[in-house]
Every structure is written in C-alpha cells, then in structure tokens.
Amino acid sequence: MRKAYLASPLGFSHELSGYLERVKARLREVGLEVTDPWEQSYAAELEAARHVTGHDARHRMLRDLAGVIGSANERLIREADILFAVLDGAEVDSGTASEVGFAAGLGKVCYGLRTDWRNSGDLPGLPLNLQVLHFIEWSGGSLFRRIEDIMIEQTSGDSL
C-alpha cells in the first residue's frame, strides 16, 4: 500500500475536522495509507509554553517547538510515497504550499484538492497560485475539484 502525506491547514480549526475526515476516507478508498501530520500531538508542549513566564523564554520555547514540528513533518514527507494537499481558501495555506514544493523537489508525485469554486490564481482562469499548480502538474500529479473525483494512479498506471 502506498503512503500519502496529507498536507492541509484543516487541523487549525475543530470545525474543519469533518472535512478532513472525508478527505482521509476518500484517500483510503482509493487504496492509500494516509499520514496526517495533525495526528501528531504537541498539546502538552504547547500547554507548557503557555505557562512560561517571560516573553523571551516563551518565545524561545515556542521557536524550539516549531523546529521539532517542522522536522517531524519533513520526516513524514520523506517517508511518504506521494503528497496530497488540500488547497481550499482565498489563498493556499503557506505551510501547505511549502510542503507541496518540498515534496515535488524530492521527486514525489503531488496531488491537490481545491473544492473552493473561487479562482485564486495569479492569472485569470487559474484555480490557485501558479507555482503550486506548476509543482503539482510537473510532479506528475493533478488537481481535483471534488472529493469524490479523487483517483490516484499507481506507478504502473493502474488506478488504485
């Protein structure tokens, strides 16, 4: 079973958890093992930082934690076979965009989902940022506009 890293900003809001679960369910339906970085828990570390007195000390602690989270996500992307990105919103989330670029640079096929009907590209008619779209297509992946349309191809060319 191929492993997909699921890049998205959906973990920032509890209200989006249903959407996140629908995307993960679809990816599993097409035969992928889903690696969701939002399943990592740093709640204890964040809570500890919240109670640190002194702005500089708290800032240092959060900066160190950001490095730990960033490194963990990098490792998960490296371990994945493909990257699947949720690209909804007025603009693509900056962290998600960077994960797409990183994975494409590693030679991983990248796919995207944009259910938002608004185009937010740099040029008329582009559904999203031209560089993010370029890396998805350049990597051999594609952009889907509905969850139910998601189909990921095996390297042999057969649908999973």
pLDDT (average), residues 88-111: 96
Is residue 126 assigned to a domain?
Answer: yes
CB 134 within 8 A of CB 105: no
Q: Decide if 66 is inside a domain.
A: no
Reference 8, options 45, 44, 39, 47; nearest CA is 39
* Residue 68 is assigned to a structural domain of this protein: no
* Residue 60 domain flag: no
Distance between CA atoms of residues 106 and 127, nearest Å: 24
Q: How far apart are CA 134 and CA 158, in angstroms?
A: 24
Is residue 69 in a domain? no
Q: Which of 115, 126, 94 is nearest to 9 (CA)?
A: 94
Q: Residue 25 falls within a domain, yes or no? A: yes
Q: The whole model's pTM is what?
A: 0.89
Question: What integer is the mean pLDDT of 126-150?
Answer: 94
Euclidean distance between CA atoms 151 and 83, whole angstroms: 13
What is the extent of the structural domain holding 118? 2-41+74-149
136 pLDDT higher than 90: yes
Q: What is the mean pLDDT of residues 112-133?
A: 90
- What mean pLDDT comes out for the span 124-136? 93
Q: State the CATH number of the domain containing residue 132.
A: 3.40.50.450
Classify residue 110: in a domain, yes or no: yes
Whether residue 155 is predicted with pLDDT greater than 70 in this model: the reply is no
- Residue 43's pLDDT is 84
Higher per-residue pLDDT: 5 or 125: 5
Gap between the Cα atoms of 83 and 145, Å rounded: 16
Give the total number of structural domains in the chain. Answer: 1
Q: What band does 154 get if pLDDT is binned at 50, 70 and 90?
A: low
* Average pLDDT value for the chain: 91
- Please check whether residue 49 lies inside any domain of the structure: no
